């Protein structure tokens, strides 16, 4: 039977009266728990500061030593190629700072490398220099007393030891300021892997701004584990340090049990340094593979993708359960700037601080157990039936506010009003899910974030617009029944629309078989042109995958052409007060549509306008096709065929783009014979190439009948 809300409240009031006698015990428990939690917070925060001080003290040595070495080299006190003088100074520095594991200098011009380190506690000198006779990089290790005469280890051909290949060298060279590497396995004498360490890399710049080399100051992090073992955090608590790496992964770099942090691997180490030919390989153990499973349980409470620098000055408390044991924890970042992305993590069993609270609470509850047992049972039952559904409804309502509309089981309750409310919430989510399919989710989030209502109006903004159209769709549509055609189109629209949204684009509308999309709105983007190009290339890759499946299923294979243009458009809510459409309007939209149509004429898959090429040229590989005036335009623009993203590393396509540009320039200079030769060369290199075939045919025509003197190279299209 469903109870009314009034009956529910009456039951709660009666239960509260029965529970009055137990209120004193509850109050005592709450106060005691508050005190205990406050004590645990102090314990965790104080120990966090101790670990922070210890780490920063160590990092400060590496940072300052890098700066001192930088000043000495720039002032001329030492020369970058004066390895003998520099090594003597570094040996003294390493004696003064016993926690430093390595000092090094890599030379940009030659790849030479001087390293002073202390494998197994003994100082050694290592140098990598080119052999005067062979020109090959030779690696030698010396005891300090024997340098530079008698090496105890020599490898006469060691190109992989070139310091310029190290990630920390490359990053310091690119950023032009001190950087910290990810933790990796340091390589010691004779190329043997030693301990996990971290490097502070400092670029040395000449007066003209050119790079002389990169200094490295490294230390192993296992010393931190020794320090963490000495900490007393409650009775059974401990601390560990987590590195948030540049690839998004996390690694524990310090733990009270340092043996669990490193393991042998049969594959070459992927620590970021060459192993210098080491026969052994070590690696940091991934967090999910650590034998201390509490670490993984702890990190599950830390938001993925968290940037430690955003936590400056704060300590975040967490609670979690592992093996039926409740734990209290806290994490914070290093308190000073110019430090690696490390998290200081502390964990302790809740029982360490709550044991006395639990004992006192049991005694208090024991005294009034007989009197309160019935009221407690009633209160628990009623509160469960009311609070649990209401909590789920509250969470669902908050999620609706954030436009998170995933379906959930209805939170049924014995309270009639609560039960109806739960059903209404799920029905609302169902309606909103349908609504969201008609409106871009980004637009809904934008209005929600700004607290605005959609109103008629627009603004002029620079965006990139794309049209993607199926080639020969009319013929294909005549071959399929309407129902099957709709399903086939949905199979096509789904992955291609996902590619648009994955690159930050907005699907504006489906125009028959065409997809109109734009980048840079509603949310602004500084990289909208390159994002549109990436989406188009993903579209073609998705279509290729789909065609393989369609071939096996006996369905028609679909091919699509894409046109992309960048320019100023009017973007906003267009329509009437009764019905609005968030869309874009303007000449740029028309040009993108015309470029898609041009693909049929030139036999291309993706054509982009000159404005798009200018904005994305550093990130894309595109070939100049022709200077064209599309239908309705009197002026011409350069049209490019998009080939690939530069990140794909396609030197063959880079060469094609250069050859195409040269051929077009010769063509525009009216040298028809030379241009014809270049276009025919492109055709030989790329059989079936559409643009070169079109331009070669045009050159042959101009050889027979040259254009007028006023010819400006613009080809005027008379059709869409």
Q: How confident is the model at residue 372 (pLDDT cuts 50, 70, 90)?
A: low
Q: How confident is the model at residue 515 (pLDDT cuts 50, 70, 90)?
A: very high
Cis peptide before 148 (omega within 30 of 0): yes
How far is it, in rounded angstroms, from Cα 552 to Cα 172? Answer: 51
In this predicted structure, what is the pLDDT of residue 453?
47
Residue 40: CA count within 13 A, CB half-sphere: 29
Alpha carbon distances (Å) from 53 to 59, 178, 415, 516: 10, 21, 56, 56
How far is it, in rounded angstroms, from Cα 528 to Cα 554? Answer: 37
Helices (H) then strands (E): counts for the chain:
17, 25
Strands (E), 424-504: 457-470
Which SS3 state, helix, strand or coil, does residue 240 take? strand
The token pair at 707 is: 């254009």
Average confidence score pLDDT of the chain: 83
Say if residues 168 and 162 touch (Cβ distance below 8 Å). Answer: no
Q: Which of 438, 157, 416, 111 is nearest to 276 (CA)?
A: 157
Which SS3 state, helix, strand or coil, does residue 477 take? helix
Cα-to-chain-centroid distance, residue 79: 40
| Superfamily grouping for domain 459-645 | Nucleotide cyclase, GGDEF domain (3.30.70.1230)
Which SS3 state, helix, strand or coil, does residue 520 take? coil
Residue whose structure tokens are 């015990």: 25
- The pLDDT tens digits for 55-78 are 888 888 888 988 998 898 888 888
Residue whose structure tokens are 């400060």: 60
Say if residues 343 and 241 touch (Cβ distance below 8 Å). Answer: yes
Cβ within 8 Å of residue 438, ≥6 positions away? none
Q: Which of 511, 547, 716 is nearest to 626 (CA)?
A: 716
In this predicted structure, what is the pLDDT of residue 452?
45
498 CB burial (10 A radius; 0-12, 13-18, 19+): middle
Q: Does the pLDDT of residue 496 top 90, yes or no?
A: yes
Say if residues 116 and 90 touch (Cβ distance below 8 Å). Answer: yes
Say if residues 197 and 220 touch (Cβ distance below 8 Å). Answer: yes
Alpha carbon distances (Å) from 361 to 16, 355, 380: 19, 10, 18
In this predicted structure, what is the pLDDT of residue 385?
65
Residue 641: CA count within 13 A, CB half-sphere: 25
What is the helix (H) or strand (E) element at residue 581, kind and residue range? strand 580-585
Alpha carbon distances (Å) from 16 to 375, 384, 415, 510: 8, 15, 18, 60
How far is it, in rounded angstroms, from Cα 297 to Cα 380? Answer: 30
How far is it, in rounded angstroms, from Cα 71 to Cα 75? Answer: 6
Which SS3 state, helix, strand or coil, does residue 688 take? coil
Q: What's the angle, vertex CA 568, arms to CA 562 and CA 571, rounded to 5?
A: 85
Buried/exposed code over 239-274 (b: 16+ C-beta within 10 A; e: otherwise):
bbbbbbbeeeebbbbbbbebebbbeeeeeebebbbb
In this predicted structure, what is the pLDDT of residue 240?
92
DSSP state of 189: G
The residues pairing with 565 across neighbouring beta strands, listed in sequence order, are 465
Say if residues 224 and 253 touch (Cβ distance below 8 Å). Answer: yes
Helices (H), 585-689: 587-602, 610-616, 651-668, 672-685
The token pair at 77 is: 């006190």
How far is it, in rounded angstroms, from Cα 185 to Cα 659? Answer: 46
pTM here is 0.47
Q: Which of 622, 600, 597 is nearest to 610 (CA)?
A: 622
How far is it, in rounded angstroms, from Cα 472 to Cα 485? Answer: 14
- The pLDDT tens digits for 14-40 are 666 666 766 766 776 677 667 777 877
Cα-to-chain-centroid distance, residue 246: 9
Percent of the chain with pLDDT over 70: 81
- The pLDDT tens digits for 433-443 are 555 555 555 55
- Is pLDDT larger for residue 441 or for residue 168? 168
Q: Does the pLDDT of residue 459 top 50, yes or no?
A: yes
The token pair at 443 is: 């637009």
How far is it, in rounded angstroms, from Cα 310 to Cα 205? Answer: 31
643 CB burial (10 A radius; 0-12, 13-18, 19+): buried
In this predicted structure, what is the pLDDT of residue 175?
92
The token pair at 265 is: 């691997």
DSSP state of 718: -
Radius of gyration of the chain (CA): 35
In this predicted structure, what is the pLDDT of residue 505?
93
- The pLDDT tens digits for 525-556 are 999 999 999 999 999 999 999 999 999 998 99
Cβ within 8 Å of residue 324, ≥6 positions away? none
Q: Does the pLDDT of residue 446 top 80, yes or no?
A: no
How far is it, in rounded angstroms, from Cα 128 to Cα 191? Answer: 12
Alpha carbon distances (Å) from 701 to 508, 624, 676, 696, 704: 42, 21, 10, 9, 5
How far is it, in rounded angstroms, from Cα 5 to Cα 383? Answer: 13
Q: Does the pLDDT of residue 616 top 90, yes or no?
A: yes
Q: Does the pLDDT of residue 270 top 50, yes or no?
A: no
How far is it, in rounded angstroms, from Cα 670 to Cα 481? Answer: 52
DSSP state of 113: E
Say if residues 183 and 55 touch (Cβ distance below 8 Å). Answer: no
Q: Does the pLDDT of residue 277 top 50, yes or no?
A: no
Length of the chain: 720
Domain with CATH 3.30.70.1230 in the chain: 459-645
Alpha carbon distances (Å) from 29 to 23, 194, 367: 10, 52, 14
Report the range out of 135-149, 273-287, 399-413, 499-513 with the highest average pLDDT. 499-513
């Amino acid at each position: 039977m469903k109870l009314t809300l009034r009956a529910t409240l009456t039951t709660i009031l009666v239960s509260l009266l029965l529970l009055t006698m137990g209120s004193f015990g509850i109050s005592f428990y709450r106060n005691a728990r508050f005190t205990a939690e406050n004590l645990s917070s102090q314990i965790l925060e104080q120990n966090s500061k101790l670990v922070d001080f210890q780490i920063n003290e160590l990092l400060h040595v590496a940072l300052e030593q890098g700066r001192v070495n930088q000043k000495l080299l720039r002032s001329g006190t030492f020369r970058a190629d004066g390895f003998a003088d520099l090594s003597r100074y570094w040996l003294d520095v390493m004696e003064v700072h016993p926690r430093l594991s390595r000092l090094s200098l890599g030379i940009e011009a030659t790849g030479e490398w001087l390293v002073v380190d202390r494998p197994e506690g003994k100082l050694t000198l290592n140098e990598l220099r080119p052999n005067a006779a062979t020109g090959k990089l030779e690696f030698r290790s010396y005891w300090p007393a024997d340098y530079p005469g008698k090496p105890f280890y020599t490898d006469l051909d060691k190109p992989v030891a070139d310091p310029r290949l190290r990630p920390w060298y490359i990053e310091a060279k690119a950023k032009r300021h001190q950087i910290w590497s990810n933790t990796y396995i340091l390589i010691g004498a004779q190329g043997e892997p030693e301990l996990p360490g971290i490097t502070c890399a400092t670029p040395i710049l000449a007066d003209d701004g050119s790079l002389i080399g990169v200094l490295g100051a490294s230390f192993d992090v296992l010393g931190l584990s020794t320090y963490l073992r000495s900490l007393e955090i409650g009775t059974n608590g401990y601390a560990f340090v987590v590195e948030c790496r540049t690839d998004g992964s996390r690694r524990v770099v310090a733990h009270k049990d340092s043996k669990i942090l490193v393991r042998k691997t049969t594959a070459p180490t992927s620590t970021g340094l060459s192993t210098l030919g080491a026969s052994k390989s070590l690696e940091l153990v991934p967090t999910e593979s650590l034998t201390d499973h509490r670490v993984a349980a702890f990190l599950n409470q830390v938001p993925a993708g968290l940037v430690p620098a955003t936590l400056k000055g704060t300590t975040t408390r967490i609670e979690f359960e592992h093996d039926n044991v409740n734990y209290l924890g806290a994490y914070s970042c290093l308190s000073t700037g110019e430090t690696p992305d490390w998290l200081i993590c502390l964990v302790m069993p809740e029982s360490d601080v709550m044991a006395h609270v639990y004992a006192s609470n049991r005694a208090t509850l024991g005294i009034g157990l007989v009197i309160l047992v019935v009221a407690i049972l009633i209160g628990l039952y009623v509160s469960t039936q009311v609070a649990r559904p209401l909590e789920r409804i509250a969470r669902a309502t908050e999620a609706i506010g954030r436009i998170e509309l995933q379906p959930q089981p209805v939170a049924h309750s014995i309270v009639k009003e609560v039960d109806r409310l739960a059903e209404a919430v799920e029905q609302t989510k169902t309606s909103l899910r349908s609504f969201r399919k008609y409106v871009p989710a980004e637009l809904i989030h934008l209005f929600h974030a700004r607290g605005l209502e959609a109103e008629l109006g627009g603004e002029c903004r620079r965006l990139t617009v794309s049209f993607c159209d199926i080639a020969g769709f009319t013929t294909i549509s005549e071959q399929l029944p309407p129902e099957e055609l709709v399903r086939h189109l949905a199979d096509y629209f789904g992955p291609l629309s996902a590619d648009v949204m994955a690159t930050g684009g907005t699907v504006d509308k489906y125009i028959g078989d065409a997809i109109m999309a734009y980048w840079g709105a509603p949310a602004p983007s500084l990289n909208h042109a390159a994002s549109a190009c990436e989406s188009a290339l993903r579209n073609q890759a998705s279509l290729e995958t789909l065609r393989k499946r369609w071939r096996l299923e006996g369905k028609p294979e679909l091919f699509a052409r894409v046109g992309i243009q960048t320019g100023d458009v009017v973007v906003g809510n267009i329509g009437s007060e009764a019905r609005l459409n968030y869309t874009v309007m303007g000449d740029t939209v028309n040009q993108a549509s015309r470029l898609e149509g041009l693909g049929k004429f030139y036999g291309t898959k993706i054509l982009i306008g000159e404005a798009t090429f200018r904005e994305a040229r550093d990130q894309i590989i595109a070939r100049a096709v022709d200077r064209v005036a599309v239908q309705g335009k009197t002026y011409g623009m350069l049209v490019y065929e998009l080939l690939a993203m530069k990140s794909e590393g396609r030197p063959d396509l880079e060469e094609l783009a250069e050859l195409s540009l040269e051929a077009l320039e010769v063509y525009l200079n009216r040298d028809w014979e030379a241009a014809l030769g270049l276009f025919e060369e492109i055709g030989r290199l790329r059989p079936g190439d559409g643009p070169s075939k079109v331009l070669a045919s045009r050159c042959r025509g101009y050889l027979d009948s040259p254009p007028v003197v006023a010819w400006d190279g613009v080809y005027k299209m008379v059709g869409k």
